[in-house]
Structure 1
């Protein structure tokens, strides 16, 4: 276990939040972004690896996924749950056309504020909304239990919904509730792209033979690396998850893009993004014809 993981496994979430961000705030004093590009300060990059180079690489990989793997229609109406600090939003500015619509939801008020001030002015069809959902790791003062969240949109509102490293911090019953809400707001034929740590016979074997170097502690239909704060990292039982998708009216598109976390070989162009397993699913109804970007 590394030093950072040991701290997370020991101290309360609010204390860890301070410990986590202070060193990066100090670095921001000396490592200012002087280029004309959309890039947040390091202290706000709480939703993934921090650093200017890895920020740029994550953006390039996301562009590759949406354009070449998902074959995103450039006029899509998109909902991004867990939009974070925009590392996977900025690439869409150059991909979509003036008929597209993007809405990002996040529980981190600081990140929503930064995206609104720095991304929305570049395209006013990009909107960011703060949702005060409780999460012990990321939003321990949140007022809304995740099992009670109602997405503030009518039925059949979106062509695409995405969640990147969101369900990896949620318990199974909360994931099932989100999936039903997503199934409600997706249009027939619309698609859901989400990332997970999927536990199945293969990933269990990978853990058993030592290719996965983090210790997994079992829970109810999930595993975690941090029993002190399980939302830090949650892996879900794949068989259970498939049934939850079915209950929500969503069908997996095969094959699943298996992640590096359990030893899978991945597209080099998705090296960071495909650390986790990526599942693409479709809502009930015919698949819309994709438009090549």
Structure 2
């Protein structure tokens, strides 16, 4: 099966309907953007991600709920939490008694800001640094990316997000992350992952001009910094998510390709088989 056919079948046959934008969710997203009392880092300390910090956080809160089916009582794990762009809106959504959030990142400055600013007000939001080596974000890191193992027990989470993480990983490290996500998810839990998922046949229509990285499944858009915007063959992503033990629900194209879409990067949602807790 070609990657294009696999993607088409995933998006058209297996994917459940996206949830509606309820008035309550629309209000909450607007509240996240306009509430001046919510934590907000100094502009010069936002070290990852383009665009407005609050607006992007509110946008992804909507995606988590509508597409990822995130519920207020669930346990969330944010891989690559940065400086809290996803955590801040989730403080307004997760149940303070039953829901929980854990975020990890290799950049100490972001973790310190989150731990000092978010956790005191929201004690079920926890942050920790993992010294993962990365040529852009943590070049002196002690833990190779292909040896990552997150320090949580099996089935610790109901929802794992990797927002703009796969876009900075080589293929062999992405495979490790997929297996870790499968290990950490409880039955019925979902992995919510954004990527640049290429079909391997044409790169002429995309806004980012990707080129294949050697003979493997990886792609890059910036020659001098390949992991600044890394792509992956769609078929490789689907295959290895399945091999990790996840059932892919959808892989929806993003508007980086120049087509209309609700999100910029491509979006994968995969489920850990079994009854939800």
Whether the TM-score (by the shorter chain) exceeds 0.5 is yes
2:225 counterpart of 1:229: yes
Contact 1:217 1:227 in 2 (8 A): no
Partner of residue 72, structure 1: 70
Q: How many residues align?
A: 240
- Runs of at least 4 residues of structure 1 off by over 6 A? none
- 2:210–2:219 Cα contact (<8 Å) kept: no
Map residues 8-19 of structure 1 onto 2, 5 A cutoff. Answer: none
Residue among 240, 244, 251 paired with 2:240: 244
Determine whether 1:257 maps to 2:252.
yes
1:42 and 2:37 matched: no
- For residues 179 and 61 of structure 2, the distance between their equivalents in structure 1, rounded to whole angstroms, comes to 27
Q: Deviations over 1:3-56 (max 9, x none)?
A: xxxxxxxxxxxxxxxxxxxxxxxxxxxxxxxx5331101222111015xxx112
SS of equivalent to 2:249: strand
Task: Give the superposition deviation at 1:215.
Answer: 4.8
Any idea what SS the aligned residue of 1:102 has?
Answer: strand
State the shift of 1:67 in Å. Answer: 2.4
Q: Quick one: distance in 2 between partners of 1:131 and 1:250?
A: 24
Residue in structure 2 matched with residue 160 of structure 1 by the alignment: 159
Q: TM-score, normalised by structure 2?
A: 0.82
- The corresponding residue for 1:131 is 130
Measure the CA separation in 1 of the matches of 2:264 and 2:192: 15
SS in 2 for 1:165: coil
Deviation, structure 1 residue 213: 4.6
Structure 1 counterpart of 2:172: 173
Say whether the 8 Å CA contact 2:208–2:221 is kept in structure 1. Answer: no
Residues 134 and 143, structure 1, Cα contact 8 Å, conserved in 2: yes
User: Does structure 2 retain, via aligned residues, the 8 Å contact 1:197–1:277?
Assistant: yes
Structure 1, unaligned runs of 5 or more: 1-34, 268-273, 289-293
C-alpha RMSD over aligned residues = 1.6
Q: After TM superposition, give the deviation of residue 217 of structure 1 in Å.
A: 4.6
Q: How does 1:52-131 map to 2 (within 5 A)?
A: 54-97=52-95, 98-131=97-130
More helix by share: 1
User: 1:149 maps to what in 2?
Assistant: 148
